Structure 1
Amino acid sequence: MLKFSCLLRHCSLNRAWYSSVTKPQPETWDLLAAVCLERLPVLTADLNPTEEKLSEILTKIDLEQSMLNDHEVRLKLDNERNEKKKRGELGEGDSDAVITGLDMEDKWRTEASDFTAASRLTEADLKNDIRSCKRKLDRPLRLLTKLKLGNDVYWDLPFVVRQDGETMRQTAERAVYSKCGNNLKFGILGNSPLSFYKYKYPKQFQSKTEKVGAKVFIFKAYLTSEFFDDATVEGGENVLDYQWATLEEMKTSLEPDTFRAVTRMLHSED
C-alpha cells in the first residue's frame, strides 16, 4: 500500500512538472487607437459619362411631364394677348402688359452675362499644397502624419498606445490631440472602432517590451470646422510632417496592411 501511494505521488509530481513546462504563456499585445480623420467634399464631383447620360434622360422626362411654371404661363398669356391684338380683339381688360415675359428674359440674360463663376481650383490646388485641407474640394481628404520612430520614418494615421483606465474612444481622441495639436475641430463616430489590423514586433523589440506586437483599432472621425476656419495641424511628439491625402495618395504613402484596413471602413468614391 505504501509503494502504491508513493507511485501515485511520483506520477502527480511528474504531471505537474510537465504541465508547468508545456503550458504556453499568455501573449500580451499593445492596444493602439488610430483615427482616420476625414474632410468631407465641399463641392459636388463632376459627373462621369454614365451619370451625364442619365441626367439628360431624367431632365427630358421631367420637362415632358412637368406643369408650366409661372414664367411659362406668363409667356403663354403674352402670346395670346399679342394674337388678339393682331386680330383687333383686345377688350378693355386686355391692355398691353407694362413688362412682358420677354422683357424679363432680356433682363435675366444681361444679369447672367455679368456673372463669372468661381474656379473649382483653389490656391492650394495650384500650388499642390498637400498640407492644406482646402484643395481637392470635390474629393474627401484624410489626415496622415509623418512619424519618426527610432531610425524608421513613415506615414501613418494619428495613433497612440492605450493607457490604463482609458476607453478606446478616449485613446482615439488623445491620439488626435497629441499628434495634431488642439486647433482641429473634429467628431469621432461612436464608441467602437470601424476597422482593425495587427502586426508583430521584431524579436529584439519583443524581448525588450515583453509584448508580441500591436493591435490597432481604427476609429472614423470628421473634420467639423467651418470651411474658412484655420484647420492648422501642430505636429506633436515624433511627428515630422502631415498631409491631407486623397485615397490614391494614401495608397502610395501608407503601409499595405494599414491601407487595407482603412479601405475596409470607407465608402466607395466611384
Structure 2
Amino acid sequence: MQKLTNSLQSLLRLSRRGFSTTTTSSSSDKIVASVLFERLPVVIPKIDPVVYAFQEFSYRWTQQYRRKYPDEVLGKSDARGQGDYQIDYIPAPRVTEADHKNDKRSLQRALDRRLYLLLYGASYGSSEGKPVWHFPEKVYETEETLRKCAESALKSVLGDLSHTYFVGNAPMAHMVIQPTNDMPDISSFKRFFFKSQVIATNSYNVGKCEDHVWVTKDELMEYFPEQAAFFNKMIIS
C-alpha cells in the first residue's frame, strides 16, 4: 500500500510539472479582448407573410367557436370610455432620414434590426499598422480580468460606460489568428469577444478612430469576408 501511495504521488508531481511547462510555453501568446457592441431593435420587426397568414387563419377559426355574449353586454363595453375628446395618433415612421441617406454613422437607422459598431483605424495584427475595420479592442496586459480589459477597450472609444451594458462576465466566442505573409513578425494570438449593448441613448461620441459605422449583421459580413462563416455563427439576430 505504501508503494502504491508513493507511485501515485510521483505521477501527480509529474503531471503538475507537465501542466506548468505547457502553460509557460503558451504564456507568450498575446490575448486581445474585442467588444461586440450592439444596439437592439427599436421597433418590432415586420411579421413574416407566412406568420401573418397563420395568425389571420387562427383568428378566424377562433371566431367561429368563441363564446357569444348578449348584445346588451357588448353594447355597454363598446360605450365604455367614450367621450367628447378625440386623440389623433400618428405612428412614427419605420424608415428614417438616416435610412434614406444610408448614413451608417447614425444609430437612427434600421430600427427593426440589430446594429453593431465597427471602427476604422489601427488594429492589433494588421499588416504594417494599416487602418482596417475592426471591433473595439485592447491587448490584455495587467487587468484583473479579461472582461475588465474589454470594458477598458470600449471606454477608450466612447469615453465612459454609463450607457452600456455588458452581457455576462465570460466571452461569447474566440478565434485564433495565425501569422500570415502580410504579418510574419507577429506571432499567433487569441481574440476573445465580449457582448455589450446600447442603453438609453441614440448617439455616442465615438473617438480614437478614423471612422466608424453602425451596421446590420448582413452588412457586417461585407467588412469581414474571410471570417464571414465565423461571425455568422457567433452573431444571432
Question: Do Structure 1 and Structure 2 share a fold, with TM-score over 0.5?
Answer: yes
Q: Which amino acid aligns with 2:178?
A: K
Give the drift of 1:183.
Answer: 6.3
Which amino acid is the alignment partner of residue 150 of structure 2? A
Shift, 1:70, TM fit:
9.5
Which structure's residues are more often helix, by fraction?
1
Alpha-carbon shift at residue 69 of structure 1 (Å): 7.4
Q: Provide the aligned C-alpha RMSD in A.
A: 3.1
> Structure 1 residue 124 and structure 2 residue 98: aligned?
yes
Decide whether the 8 Å contact of 1:183 with 1:231 is kept in 2: no
Matches within 5 A, 1:1-270: 26-27=25-26, 28-67=28-67, 73-75=73-75, 111=86, 114-149=88-123, 150-182=128-160, 185-202=163-180, 207=185, 212-224=187-199, 226=200, 229-236=201-208, 239-257=209-227, 259-267=228-236, 269=237
Q: For the Cα contact (< 8 Å) 1:37–1:221, is it kept in 2?
A: yes
Q: 1:235 to 1:70 in 2, by over 3 A?
A: farther
Shift of 1:54: 1.2
CA offset digits 1:234-258 (Å, max 9, x no partner)? 212xx1111110011101112522x
- The letter of the residue matching 2:58 is L
Task: Give me the whole-angstrom Cα distance separating, in 2, the residues matched to 1:136 and 1:119.
Answer: 11
Give the superposition deviation at 1:189.
1.4
* TM-score, length basis structure 2: 0.74
Contact kept in structure 1, 2:217 and 2:235, CA below 8 Å: no
Which structure 2 segments of 5+ residues have no match? 1-23
**Preserved contact between residue 195 and residue 264 of structure 1 (Cα < 8 Å):** no
Deviations 1:143-184 (A, max 9, x none): 111123545222111111001243111011011011333266
Secondary structure of the corresponding residue to residue 61 of structure 2:
helix
**SS in structure 1 at match of 2:165:** strand
Partners of 1:219 and 1:170 lie apart in 2 by 11
1:66-85 deviations in whole A, cap 9, x for unaligned?
4457988333x8xxxxxxxx
TM-score of the aligned structures, taking structure 1 as reference length: 0.66
Shift of 1:212: 1.8
- Work out which of the two has the higher radius of gyration on C-alpha atoms and give 1 or 2: 1
